[in-house]
């Protein structure tokens, strides 16, 4: 039975409330962090892999990541890896900080294995400069605004006098990136010290900076007035008063702190300090676990799973992990609509490939596998391979990135092995892979591939920074063969012009491999179009008993790459053999 590897997101379902206060079990105790953290269980060591991006989904390098007492920085891909971080069994808090950005974070319920995390950071962008000692108002296009009385202090509690830069960010429930942009997750501590799941009616972040760039806040004992516009889709169901919550940046969860009043299409309330503030109704919660598979039982990763409650328009989105699973907290005793979406681009009009009604749930629930019967236009493939070091041994600390149109999936390696299960459109099959050996700080090149059904066999990717072209292959699961000498490729063999429309060749001290074919158009071919000859494989052509497929993924211009993978079986005098390989060769002519 597969283990749930990560909690990528928190499923929060919009609910219509006749009251903003669910039954809290009769507790009358006030909020107390020491008591509240007893809900998190014992401490445990867990592994994390994640990616930090900006609002355009571009990686941010050099972000300081902290989980418990462990710290690291993101690499050029915005990726970080922290193993054996000390967290709680039921709660982990990850912070992300870099100069020029508003602090980011993510909270989750960690699981055994690699926990995958995505954090989207917001750049610090001052909307206005105000002066201390003067009442002022700062607003943005949505009508969301803040009124200040002019009293400020620095992080040490000292009074501040001078210019104040104000950055105001309004995160709406309809924002498709809300789960990546918001801090922590929508998990909260009520004023009676109970756990709660939140339904947001909008949240804001206010950052104050002094003339020297130092962080500022409202002076102790003073308040500011916030006005938060309500989404049009929520206006009819928005209660007349709603609890306010602030995000505790030290603890990683929301805390009930005041009340906002509905005035027209906005909520208005007073706050005593700034970080993130949220206008939220709340409810009791249960944990829900969902696994998405195709009709063959293959788990589907990176599929969007959206939940909608009652008459609400916007689904709350999450994305399945490498094992097709997603898990999170949802309101108890509610009927929900569950939609499964093809990943970030559509193969049909509305992109929904499955829909059903689930619930209500009164206790933690793991649903039976949800089977998605894919159409001719939407397909699923498991991309699998092995990441190895330059000496041929397996990478033990690293990852592989799969990229489609700037949208990334990240797979950690387990003793070299990596795997992705991806949805894609039948008329758009190309993707790229790049592997990273974190122990030796070496990478592979970015190599182009095409999906095949049901499995896309990659073979071995070699993390060898100094090598920019190669052919590698493996016979019967034996030691990988890496050919990095005398590498050449093009549209006609050197010395034999126009003899073959495409050829690839490479060698090492023990021999080489030569591949030639009758076409240079990307596609999937057999030995009717491509043949090969080389050390350990002999001569393989259409006359050989075989099931080989040659996936010609990309043929670039001169000086660019020719990318091909090949896999299948062949028979020689010694019997049946399995063969898998990859060619990444710079075109010479």
42 in a domain, yes or no?
no
* Residues 549, 535: Cα–Cα separation, whole Å: 19
- CATH code of the domain in which 529 resides: 2.60.40.10
- Per-residue pLDDT tens over the stretch 130-151: 999 999 999 998 899 999 999 9
CB-based burial of residue 579 (10 Å sphere; 0-12 exposed, 13-18 middle, 19+ buried)? buried
* Residues 305, 114: Cα–Cα separation, whole Å: 20
Cα dihedral 216, 217, 221, 224 sign: positive
pLDDT score recorded for residue 104: 96
- Per-residue pLDDT tens over the stretch 544-589: 999 999 999 999 999 999 999 999 999 998 899 999 999 999 999 8
| Structure tokens that stand for 359 in this block | 């619930």
Which is nearest to 368 in space by CA: 341, 334, 338, 344?
338
Question: Total domain count for the chain?
Answer: 1
* Residues 336, 102: Cα–Cα separation, whole Å: 34
How many CA atoms, within 13 angstroms, populate the side-chain half-sphere of residue 517? Answer: 25
pLDDT score recorded for residue 3: 32
* Residues 515, 579: Cα–Cα separation, whole Å: 14
434 in a domain, yes or no?
yes
* Residues 96, 165: Cα–Cα separation, whole Å: 22
- Per-residue pLDDT tens over the stretch 32-61: 888 999 989 999 999 888 899 998 888 998
- Per-residue pLDDT tens over the stretch 500-521: 689 999 887 667 899 999 999 9
What average pLDDT does the segment 72-76 reach?
Answer: 85
Residues 482 and 488: beta-carbon distance below 8 Å: no
* Residues 418, 124: Cα–Cα separation, whole Å: 36
Chain centroid to CA 414: 19
Q: Is the per-residue pLDDT at 81 higher than 70? A: yes
160 in a domain, yes or no?
no
Residues 173 and 312: beta-carbon distance below 8 Å: no
DSSP string computed for 151-196: -EEETTS-EE-SEEEEEEEEE-TT-TTHHHHSSS-SEEE-TTS-EE
Query: Confidence class of residue 368 from pLDDT cuts 50, 70 and 90?
Result: very high
Q: Is the per-residue pLDDT at 327 higher than 90? A: no
pLDDT score recorded for residue 208: 95
- Per-residue pLDDT tens over the stretch 237-264: 899 999 999 999 999 999 999 999 999 9
Q: Is the per-residue pLDDT at 64 higher than 60? A: yes
Report the range of poorest mean pLDDT among 166-180, 217-231, 524-538. Answer: 166-180
Query: Confidence class of residue 294 from pLDDT cuts 50, 70 and 90?
Result: confident
Query: Confidence class of residue 179 from pLDDT cuts 50, 70 and 90?
Result: confident
**H helices of 430-484, where?**
none
229 in a domain, yes or no?
no
76 in a domain, yes or no?
no
The answer to whether the predicted template modeling score (pTM) of the entire model surpasses 0.85 is no
SS3 (DSSP) at 371: strand
Which is nearest to 183 in space by CA: 157, 165, 207, 164?
207
In the chain, pLDDT over 70 holds for what percent of residues? 89
| Structure tokens that stand for 204 in this block | 């804001």
Structural domain harbouring 487: 378-586
pLDDT score recorded for residue 209: 94
The DSSP H or E segment spanning 178 is: helix 178-181
pLDDT score recorded for residue 522: 92
pLDDT score recorded for residue 244: 97
pLDDT score recorded for residue 138: 96
Q: Is the per-residue pLDDT at 12 higher than 60? A: no
- Per-residue pLDDT tens over the stretch 309-320: 664 556 666 777
Query: Confidence class of residue 347 from pLDDT cuts 50, 70 and 90?
Result: low
* Residues 445, 395: Cα–Cα separation, whole Å: 16
Q: Is the per-residue pLDDT at 88 higher than 90? A: yes
* Residues 456, 298: Cα–Cα separation, whole Å: 13
Higher-confidence position of 440 and 527:
527
Residue for token pair 């990546």: 180
109 in a domain, yes or no?
no
* Residues 26, 12: Cα–Cα separation, whole Å: 24
Residues forming beta bridges with residue 435, ordered by sequence position: 400
| Structure tokens that stand for 84 in this block | 């054996």
Query: Confidence class of residue 278 from pLDDT cuts 50, 70 and 90?
Result: very high
Q: Is the per-residue pLDDT at 205 higher than 90? A: yes
Residues 564 and 552: beta-carbon distance below 8 Å: yes
Q: Is the per-residue pLDDT at 8 higher than 70? A: no
What average pLDDT does the segment 424-439 reach?
Answer: 86
155 in a domain, yes or no?
no
Mean pLDDT, all residues of the chain: 85
Which is nearest to 203 in space by CA: 161, 239, 166, 254?
254
Which is nearest to 386 in space by CA: 534, 115, 582, 117?
582
Residue 377, CA distances (Å) to 303, 429, 496 in order:
15, 11, 42
Which is nearest to 418 in space by CA: 392, 398, 438?
398
- Per-residue pLDDT tens over the stretch 374-411: 776 778 888 999 999 988 899 998 889 998 877 788 88
What average pLDDT does the segment 468-480 reach?
Answer: 85
Query: Confidence class of residue 1 from pLDDT cuts 50, 70 and 90?
Result: very low
* Residues 507, 561: Cα–Cα separation, whole Å: 18
pLDDT score recorded for residue 340: 87
Residue 93, CA distances (Å) to 40, 358, 385 in order:
11, 30, 32
My answer on whether omega of the bond before 220 falls inside 30° of 0, hence cis, is no
My answer on whether omega of the bond before 360 falls inside 30° of 0, hence cis, is yes
Q: Is the per-residue pLDDT at 188 higher than 90? A: yes
Rounded to 5°, the CA angle 294-341-337 comes to: 100
455 in a domain, yes or no?
yes
Query: Confidence class of residue 494 from pLDDT cuts 50, 70 and 90?
Result: very low
* Residues 37, 386: Cα–Cα separation, whole Å: 41
Please report, to the nearest 10 degrees, the dihedral formed by the alpha carbons of residues 19, 254, 263, 181 taken in order: -120
Cα Rg of the chain (Å, integer) = 28
């Amino acid at each position: 039975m597969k283990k749930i590897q990560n909690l990528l997101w928190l499923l929060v379902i919009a609910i219509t409330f006749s009251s903003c206060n669910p039954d809290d079990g009769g507790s009358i105790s006030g909020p107390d962090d020491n008591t509240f953290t007893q809900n998190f269980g014992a401490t445990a060591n867990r592994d994390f892999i994640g990616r930090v991006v900006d609002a355009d989904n571009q990686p941010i390098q050099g972000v300081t990541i902290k989980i418990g007492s462990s710290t690291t920085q993101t690499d050029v891909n915005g990726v970080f890896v922290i193993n054996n971080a000390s967290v709680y069994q039921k709660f982990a808090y990850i912070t992300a900080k870099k100069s020029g950005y508003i602090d980011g974070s993510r909270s989750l319920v960690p699981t055994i294995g690699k926990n995958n995390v995505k954090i989207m950071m917001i750049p610090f962008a001052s909307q206005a400069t105000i002066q201390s000692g003067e009442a002022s108002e700062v607003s943005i296009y949505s009508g969301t605004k803040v009124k200040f009385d002019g009293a400020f202090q620095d992080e040490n509690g000292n009074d501040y006098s001078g210019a104040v830069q104000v950055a105001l960010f309004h995160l709406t429930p309809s924002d498709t990136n809300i789960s990546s942009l918001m801090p922590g997750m929508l998990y909260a501590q009520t004023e009676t010290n109970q756990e709660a799941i939140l339904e947001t009616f909008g949240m804001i972040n206010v950052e104050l900076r002094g003339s020297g760039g130092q962080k500022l806040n409202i002076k102790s004992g003073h308040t500011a007035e916030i006005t938060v516009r309500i989404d049009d889709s929520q206006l009819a169901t928005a209660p007349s008063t709603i609890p306010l919550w602030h995000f505790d940046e030290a603890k990683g969860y929301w805390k009930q702190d005041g009340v906002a009043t509905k005035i027209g299409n906005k909520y208005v309330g007073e706050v005593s300090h700034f970080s993130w503030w949220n206008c939220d109704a709340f409810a009791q919660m249960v944990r829900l676990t969902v696994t998405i598979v195709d009709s063959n039982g293959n788990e589907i990763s990176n599929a969007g799973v959206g939940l909608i409650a009652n008459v609400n328009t916007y689904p709350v989105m999450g994305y399945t992990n490498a094992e097709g699973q997603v898990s999170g907290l949802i309101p108890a005793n509610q009927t929900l609509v569950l939609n499964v979406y093809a990943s970030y681009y559509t193969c049909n009009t509305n992109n929904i490939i499955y829909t059903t009604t689930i619930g209500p749930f009164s206790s933690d629930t793991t649903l039976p596998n949800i089977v998605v019967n894919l159409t001719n236009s939407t397909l699923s493939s498991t991309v699998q391979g092995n990441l190895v070091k330059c000496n041929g041994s397996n990478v033990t600390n690293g990852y592989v990135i799969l990229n489609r149109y700037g949208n990334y999936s990240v797979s950690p390696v387990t003793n070299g092995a990596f795997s992705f299960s991806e949805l894609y459109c039948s008329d758009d099959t190309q993707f790229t892979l790049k592997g990273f050996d974190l122990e030796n700080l070496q990478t592979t090149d970015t190599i182009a591939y095409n999906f095949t059904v049901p499995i896309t066999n990659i073979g071995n990717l070699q993390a060898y920074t100094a090598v920019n072209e190669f052919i590698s292959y493996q016979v019967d699961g034996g030691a990988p063969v890496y050919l990095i000498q005398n590498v050449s490729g093009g549209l006609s063999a050197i010395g034999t012009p126009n003899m073959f429309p495409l050829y690839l060749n490479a060698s090492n001290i023990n021999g080489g491999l030569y591949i030639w074919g009758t076409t240079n158009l990307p596609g999937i071919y057999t030995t009717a179009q491509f043949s090969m000859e080389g050390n350990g494989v002999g001569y393989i052509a259409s006359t050989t008993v075989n099931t080989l497929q040659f996936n010609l993924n990309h043929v670039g211009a001169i000086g660019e790459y020719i990318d091909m993978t090949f896999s299948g079986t062949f028979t020689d005098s010694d019997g049946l053999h399995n063969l898998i390989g990859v060619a990444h060769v710079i075109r010479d002519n």
